[in-house]
Amino acid sequence: MSNLELPVLDQGDAAACCSPMVREPLGEEAATDLAKMFKALSDPVRLRLLSLIASYEGGEACVCDLTGPFDVSQPTISHHLKVLREAGLVGSERRGTWVYYWVLPAALAKLSSLLQTPGAAAVPAKGAR
Amino acid sequence: MSNLELPVLDQGDAAACCSPMVREPLGEEAATDLAKMFKALSDPVRLRLLSLIASYEGGEACVCDLTGPFDVSQPTISHHLKVLREAGLVGSERRGTWVYYWVLPAALAKLSSLLQTPGAAAVPAKGAR
């Protein structure tokens, strides 16, 4: 299981911005870091790639499995994977011929916590699940 | 309380994409809609504006209170607020001289749910709060 080898995110950074943004205003530095992560999520192909990797059995996917579902070229997929990796949202490792990708759960959890709203938690939206 | 007047988001749309993306791959249409919302969050000033509005007492802020903390011009702030409104992240209303803004909790909750990871929920990051 490659999960045992997942790189550990900078906990100091996570601590600096994991509070929900509705509770206290974001500082300039935290906002700059977070904006980069959201920018990586601002493309439909990257969002689908991330979701595809995350929902893969075992939590990781070979790059050879990631081109099929998309109507874009292999170099474009590689570019998008690089953006996701540079934003700290996925990890990767070459094993033999192929590169394998996995989602970094702490990064997603950080963004998820940031967007949590106390009101929405207290009153779940009808039909939201 | 303006919370009583919050517009209701399209529940069909929310239902289509509120599952965590780690559970099942995102569809093309949902990814396109979500990417637009993440794009609105991909700018540090917009993130700070959103956070400032959300953490304002009463949950809403007059545009007259939103320029001070930023080192950018009033038209730039207005542009960013327009992007947040068009992405469905904030609502607004003119009352007399000023426009008031509030965060739409269902929109933030939708993105937060999407990014939830079962692993991260089971093993909270040290010092994350």
Is A3:A59 a contact under the CB 8 Å cutoff? yes
Measure CA of the first residue to CA of the last residue in chain B; give whole Å. 29
CB contact under 8 A, A117 and B128: no
The pLDDT score that the predictor gives to residue B32 is 95
Is A66:A49 a contact under the CB 8 Å cutoff? yes
CB contact under 8 A, A115 and B111: yes
Contacts of A83 (CB under 8 A, 6+ apart): A40, A43, A46
For residue A94, what are the β-bridge partners? A99
Chain B hits for A113, Cβ within 8 Å: 112, 128-129
The span from the CA of B24 to the CA of A64, in Å, is 19
Chain A: give the shortest CA distance to residue B105, in Å.
6
Q: Is the ipTM of this complex over 0.85?
A: no
The pLDDT score that the predictor gives to residue B18 is 59
Residues B42-64: pLDDT tens digits? 999 999 999 999 988 888 999 98
Of the candidate ranges A52-61, A78-87, B8-17, B73-82, the one whose mean pLDDT is the lowest: B8-17
Nearest to A28 among B28, B44, B129 (CB): B44
Full 3-state SS string of B98-120: EEEEEECHHHHHHHHHHCCCHHH
Chain B: give the shortest CA distance to residue A96, in Å.
26
What are the two backbone dihedrals, phi and then psi, of residue B91, each rounded to the nearest 5 degrees?
-110, 160
Question: What is the full DSSP assignment across chain B?
Answer: -GGGGPPPP-HHHHHHH-S-TTTSPPPHHHHHHHHHHHHHTSSHHHHHHHHHHHTSGGGEEEGGGTSTT-SS-HHHHHHHHHHHHHTTSEEEEEETTEEEEEE-HHHHHHHHHHT--HHHHHSPPTT--
Chain A residue closest to B87 (CA)? A42
B124 has pLDDT over 70: no
CB contact under 8 A, A38 and B44: no
Distance from the Cα of residue A39 to its chain's centroid: 11
Residues A80-127: pLDDT tens digits? 999 999 999 999 999 999 999 999 999 999 999 999 877 544 333 344
Q: In A25-116, which residue ranges form alpha helices assigned H by DSSP?
A: 28-40, 44-54, 74-86, 105-114
Nearest to B129 among A18, A51, A105 (CB): A18
**Best residue of B2, B8, B13, B22 to probe chain A, by most A CBs closer than 10 Å:** B22
CB count in 10 Å sphere of residue B94: 9
pTM for the full predicted model: 0.78
Residue A37 C-beta-side C-alpha neighbours within 13 Å: 22
CB contact under 8 A, A35 and B47: yes
Task: Name residue A125's amino acid.
Answer: A
CB contact under 8 A, B15 and A121: no
Chain B hits for A25, Cβ within 8 Å: 48, 51-52, 55, 69
CB contact under 8 A, B109 and A121: yes
Closest CA to B10 of B33, B28, B36: B33
Residues B73-94: pLDDT tens digits? 889 999 999 999 999 999 999 9
The pLDDT score that the predictor gives to residue A20 is 78
CB contact under 8 A, A15 and B128: yes
Chain B: give the shortest CA distance to residue A6, in Å.
12
- How many residues are given for chain B? 129
